[in-house]
Amino acid sequence: MKAADAVRRFLGASSPEEVCFTTGEVEANNLAILGAVGEFTRLSTQGFCGRPARQGGKIVISAVEPVSVMFPAEMLEKKGLKVVKVPVDGEGFLDTDGLSEAVDEETRLVSVGLVNNEVGAIQPLREVVELVKDRNHDAIVHTDASDAYGRIRFDVKELGVDLATLSSYKILGPRGVGVLYVKEGTKIERVIEGPIGTQALWPGVENTPLIVGFKKASELAFTDFDSNVEHMRRLRDHLIDGLLSMEDAILNGPRGKGRAPDNANVSFLRCEGESLTIELSLKGVYVSSGSACTRKMLQPSHVLIALGREHEAAHGSILMKVSRYHSDEDVKYVVEAFGPALERLRAIGPTARG
């Protein structure tokens, strides 16, 4: 309970009961999406949160939500719910007019991530909440705040959201633990059945060591917060500038204050991303890519496609995050590693004939 209370304070929640520990971001997002329309995930047509089950309804998400939001929503679509994906602009910011159009009387849930996990765009969440509640007061607003927590300041009460997801590993805490913030009174049901212990929405026995680890990671993330964030922002900009100085490099996502302080995402044309991640790993630089080749689905990042990137740019994308533990030397090393890696891989590419 001490851990729940500590996390509550960092979030701006009212009570520790509003903090539900899960096994991570993916489970917290599933609980938020599936739990908010509980009767769709149950076998019977029994009531939902003490009311009779409703048929139909709509879920509105942004086109750049992580797959742990998108896939549960798409699963519900197959079960008969309407799902609307609101587009974003070329930098990844939500089309708020599109959101207004999409939200109506039958909307049950709206989910918009506070910070996009791939391109770092910080969404205008307060405006989103106001827009949604204005059109439908009963609609639940969820935000996956995994990429915001510990890196940008926010307060769930100030934002006005009903549900918010946090992840431990994304703030350098242990893997396998996360949180769903659930504002008191929010109509949501658990999606996993079992013996109810201390948490109403998550049955079973919590993993205390991981939860304590998450609490500690949170405390560290919020110690010297402003100077740490400033440090990350400076490194991020050095990294982005260094990478954009390479030939045929395109920044994905916005620049400046609208971008999360830790996020750098650059596409390299004429170079396939999976190859590039392996080549860089040979030099101790571990990064990820939105290329189809890095995924089991063999489709490039839906986020980059939603930003209007061509497939080739998405295949050549590299995503990096800086942390408070990185240094200027680290960034310099990384930027220097890209030059020869790009050169070698581009030299064997057929697109080089141009």
The residues carrying an active-site annotation are 293
Q: Which range touches other proteins (CB under 8 A), out of 165-173, 246-254, 283-291, 327-335?
A: 283-291
Q: How far is the CB of 144 from other proteins (least distance, A)?
A: 23
Q: What is the 8-class DSSP label of residue 194?
A: S
Which sign, positive or negative, has the C-alpha torsion 121, 126, 127, 133?
Answer: positive
Q: 87 or 204, CB closer to other proteins?
A: 87
235 lines the binding site for other proteins (CB under 8 A): no
Q: 192 or 246, CB closer to other proteins?
A: 246
Q: Using CB under 8 A, which of 33, 294, 334, 337 touches other proteins? A: 294
Q: How far is the CB of 265 from other proteins (least distance, A)?
A: 17
Residues 64-103 that bind other proteins (CB under 8 A): 87, 98
Rounded Cα distance between 338 and 334, Å, is 7
User: Whose structure tokens read 């917290």?
Assistant: 28
Report the b/e string of 170-187 with b at 16+ CB within 10 A.
Answer: bbebbebbbbbbbbeebb
Residues 253-272 that bind other proteins (CB under 8 A): 270-272
Q: Using CB under 8 A, which of 257, 298, 329, 354 touches other proteins? A: 298
Closest CA to 173 of 61, 70, 51, 25: 25
Q: How far is the CB of 1 from other proteins (least distance, A)?
A: 39
Q: Which residues of 9-122 form beta strands (DSSP E)?
A: 19-22, 58-62, 82-86, 107-111
To 10 degrees, the CA torsion angle through 302, 308, 311, 314? -60
Helix H segments across 222-327? 225-244, 273-281, 302-306, 311-315
Q: Using CB under 8 A, which of 135, 312, 323, 330 touches other proteins? A: 312
- Ramachandran assignment for 308, one of left (phi > 0), alpha (psi -120 to 50 degrees), beta (any other): left
Q: Using CB under 8 A, which of 92, 273, 301, 342 touches other proteins? A: 273
Residue ranges binding other proteins (CB under 8 A): 87, 98, 270-275, 277-278, 281-282, 284, 286, 288, 291-294, 296, 298, 300, 305, 308, 310-312, 315, 347-353
